[in-house]
């Protein structure tokens, strides 16, 4: 297990990951920076599955790539937490 993960916070199941993305989607009318804040809070503060440094590094990577940045960060987080199935979720 990577050192940044708190042993009290096991990695999410696919259903839990799907539930989180649905809740973020329901709260994020308009997208943009408000959605990014919801994603950051959920994965770094509430569940501590990512450190703020990992999140910032992944976000900066998404900014440099062409396409929709918020979709790219969801793919990176899904892959990191649940592998190929996490990407699909």
> In the predicted model, is pLDDT for residue 79 greater than 90?
yes
> In the predicted model, is pLDDT for residue 53 greater than 90?
yes
- Quote the pTM value: 0.83
7-29 confidence digits (pLDDT tens): 557 888 999 999 999 999 998 87
Domain spans in the chain, listed from the N-terminal domain onward = 31-88
Per-residue CA distances from 22 to 16, 19, 53, 54, 63 (Å): 10, 5, 25, 22, 23
Per-residue CA distances from 77 to 56, 61, 72, 74 (Å): 12, 12, 9, 5
pLDDT of res. 33: 86
pLDDT of res. 55: 96
**Contact by Cβ (8 Å): 77, 11:** no
Q: 32's torsion region: left (phi>0), alpha (psi -120 to 50) or beta?
A: left
């Amino acid at each position: 297990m990577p050192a940044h993960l708190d042993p009290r916070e096991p990695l999410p199941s696919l259903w839990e990951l799907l539930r989180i993305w649905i809740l973020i989607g329901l709260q994020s009318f308009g997208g943009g920076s408000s959605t990014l804040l919801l994603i950051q809070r959920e994965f770094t503060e509430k569940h501590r599955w990512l450190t703020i440094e990992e999140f910032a590094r992944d976000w900066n990577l998404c900014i440099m790539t062409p396409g929709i940045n918020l979709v790219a960060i969801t793919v990176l987080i899904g892959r990191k937490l649940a592998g190929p199935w996490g990407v699909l979720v």
